[in-house]
Structure 1
C-alpha cells in the first residue's frame, strides 16, 4: 500500500507541474523575456551598442590612421551579421561617405576595429552605401 501511495503522490505532483506549465504557456500565447537565471548569462554577453556601434575604425599601419566610425550593421536574411556601415567622411575630408565593408575584413582589437591594409585613398574609391527603400 505504501508503494501505491507514493505512486499516486508522484503522479499528482507531475499533473500539478503539467497544469502549471499549461497555464504559463497556452496555445496561441507568447511568452516574452527570460528567467532571472538566463538573464544573468545575457548580461555577460557581448553588446553591439557598447562594442561595435560608434567604434573607431583604424588601419594596421605602423602609425595607425583613423578611417571612420561604425554607424550601423547589416543583418543578412539568414540572420548573420554581414556588413558594417562605416562613415569615413570626416576622415576622408569629403562631405558624406558611408561605405559597407564585409565583417570578415575586420579584426577587433580592444575597443578598436582594425581594417588591415586599408588606406584613406582606398576608402575614397569604395562606392557610397545607400539604404534600400522599403
Structure 2
C-alpha cells in the first residue's frame, strides 16, 4: 500500500498546480476601517433606546414619536420613521426623515422647523411585508 501513497500525492499536487486552483485568489476586500473613540461612542444613543421617544420642534412642542430607525438597501444613510398624529396607535401617519435632519438638545430629539401638519403632509411611509 505504501508504494502508491507518494505517487498519488504527487499526481494530485501536480494536477492542482496545473489547474491553477492552488494559485487562485479571491477578490480583494475593500473594507475601510476608521478608528473610533469607543468610550465616547458608548455615551451615544442606541436605536433600541430611542424607539418610542418623543420628537420635538424648535418650540419644544411634541410633533411625533420615533417608530423605527431604518437603513435603505442602496443608501447607507439612516432615516427615522416617525409616527405623527393618531391616538393610542390608531390613525397614525408614518413618515421617514433623514437622521441628519434631527438635533439632540438637552437630551431631547428635535426636528427644527417641523410641525405636526408639515409632517402629515409628507408621503406616508409603509413597511414592506417580510
Query: Normalising by the residue count of structure 2, what TM-score does the alignment of the two structures yield?
Result: 0.57
1:1-134 residue pairs with structure 2 within 5 A?
A: 44=42, 46=44, 47-50=46-49, 52-61=50-59, 64-77=60-73, 80-90=76-86, 95-134=91-130
Q: Aligned partners of 2:101, 2:85: CA distance in 1, in Å?
A: 20
- Checking the alignment, whether the CA contact within 8 Å between 1:57 and 1:68 is kept in structure 2 is yes
Higher share in helix: 1
Conservation of the 8 A alpha-carbon contact between 1:59 and 1:66: yes
Structure label with greater radius of gyration: 2
Q: Distance in 2 between matches of 1:79 and 1:110?
A: 30
Q: What is the CA–CA distance in structure 2 between the aligned matches of 1:75 and 1:127, rounded to whole Å? A: 18
Residue 20 of structure 1 corresponds to none
Gap runs ≥5 in structure 1? 1-39
CA shift digits 1:14-53 (9 cap, x unpaired): xxxxxxxxxxxxxxxxxxxxxxxxxx96x93532222x21
* Total equivalences in the alignment: 90
